[in-house]
Structure 1
Amino acid sequence: MKNLALIAMVSSLSMPVLAEGFYVLGSVGQASVDGMEALYSGTQQTAPGFSSDQKNKSTSYKLQAGYQFSPYFALEGGYVNFGKASSRFSLPGIRKDAAYQAEGFNLVGVGIVPLNNQWSLFGKLGGVIARVKVNDTTVNVGQQKNQSASSTDLRATWGVGANWDVTRNVALRAEYEQFHKLGGGETGKATVDMASLGVAYKF
């Protein structure tokens, strides 16, 4: 009888805690815009005297809600803010300052690989309805011109990460996500990478 009890205890330690149910998640991280040429598309980047200064990294955050159907699958979505990227380029007699902002609502399926009763790995795949806004100021021979453009489009997103269940209700999450070619014809398209740390609460 004691041997059976010991086997049951060891088995319980090696199996993941069942975590079906609703959860909420808040994460903060850093977003990186890959393809800053979207901020000055149409410019002769190979022209003599062309130079640029890009700040393509900014603070990002997201608020998510989800439902875990089993230890191996969940569905989650919510609001994502990618922060603000900026770029300055110049040619002889011309200077342009551009700002790129993006935010959106995502929905993803999450495949989970439990490692033990606390740790798990996951991969996610889905879509994001992203709104991109670009504001730019062009100074040409002393004359200033302000322009803005925006675009709202459905794009693909994927990610990978790890969860650490601190308690049955609280988990820490580290993840990397990519949001593919956000933007449209008027704003240009740029892929956004996001690395973040978050806290989840399971009901």
Structure 2
Amino acid sequence: MLKSKLMKASLVVAGLALSAAASAQVYGGASIGRSQLSDDCQGQVSCSTNATSYKLFSGYQFHPNFAVEASYSNLGKFKSSYADVGSTQSTQVKTSSFELAAVGNHQFTSELSGFAKLGIASVKAEGEFWGTGTAPAYASASTTSTQPVWGLGVNYKLTKELALRAEFESRKVKFGDDKETVRNLNVGLQYHF
């Protein structure tokens, strides 16, 4: 009797494990878009707070509603210039991010789904400074910080494996004593293997 119950319980557990493995999927993709730096550019002669961004991502969907995702985002270059009597100063900051996030999915229709994600990012800011005039100068610096990242997005299935993906993300970028927010909106493709 006990053997029979153990055998049935083992079969149920094995069935559940196989069911979970069958619904698990690996996916990957790429997207491109625009990022925006929250700097207010006060006192600058010229200032660009928008840049082209792109992202490469890969995930493991272990449940229809949950996944874990890793990604690399190039958040673009942001530039500013300041002029003083007889001199100008220019700054350029390149930003990138490696991220690991938990993703919650919700299926709205058979083609359309939405997702929200929350994770941690290793954000790198590489800056260069040029000064011209009576005392020309050049300097460069790099800062890497760990920051929270969050995002919202939608997927629209084009085929069983391929989906169109659009997402909005936000994370902080630290450079020296400054800490700004970089938000990006990307559109791309996601492929389920």
TM-score by length of 2: 0.83
User: What is the letter of the counterpart of residue 201 of structure 1?
Assistant: Y
Query: How far off its partner does 1:20 sit?
Result: 3.1
1:164 partnered with 2:156: yes
Structure 1: 4+ residue segments shifted above 4 A = none
Look up the match of 2:38: 34
State the identity as a percent. Answer: 31
Measure the CA separation in 1 of the matches of 2:45 and 2:29: 38
Q: Superposition pairs for residues 18-29 of structure 1, below 5 Å?
A: 20-29=24-33
Measure the CA separation in 2 of the matches of 1:19 and 1:95: 59
User: What is the letter of the counterpart of residue 183 of structure 1?
Assistant: K
Q: Superposition pairs for residues 10-89 of structure 1, below 5 Å?
A: 20-35=24-39, 50-89=43-82
Query: How far off its partner does 1:58 sit?
Result: 1.2
* Contact 2:44 2:80 (C-alpha < 8 Å) held by counterparts: no
Query: How far off its partner does 1:143 sit?
Result: 2.2
Query: How far off its partner does 1:185 sit?
Result: 2.8
Measured against aligned partners, the alpha-carbon deviations of 1:157-176 in whole angstroms (never above 9, x if no partner) come to 11111110111100110111
Query: How far off its partner does 1:111 sit?
Result: 0.9
Measured against aligned partners, the alpha-carbon deviations of 1:103-140 in whole angstroms (never above 9, x if no partner) come to 1210111111110111011111101111111101122x
* Contact 1:35 1:189 (C-alpha < 8 Å) held by counterparts: no
Query: How far off its partner does 1:36 sit?
Result: 5.8
2:181 to 185, 191, 198: 191
* Contact 1:31 1:58 (C-alpha < 8 Å) held by counterparts: yes
* Gapped regions of structure 1 (runs ≥ 5): 1-17, 38-44
1:90 to 70, 83, 86: 83
Look up the match of 1:6: none
Measure the CA separation in 2 of the matches of 1:149 and 1:52: 22
TM-score by length of 1: 0.79
Measure the CA separation in 2 of the matches of 1:84 and 1:92: 27
* Contact 1:163 1:172 (C-alpha < 8 Å) held by counterparts: yes
Measure the CA separation in 1 of the matches of 2:175 and 2:135: 28
User: Aligned pair count?
Assistant: 172
Look up the match of 1:143: 135
Measure the CA separation in 2 of the matches of 1:125 and 1:80: 15
Look up the match of 2:120: 127
* Gapped regions of structure 2 (runs ≥ 5): 1-21
Look up the match of 1:10: none
Distance 1:136 1:19, change over 3 A: farther
* Alignment RMSD (CA, Å): 1.7
* Contact 1:83 1:102 (C-alpha < 8 Å) held by counterparts: yes
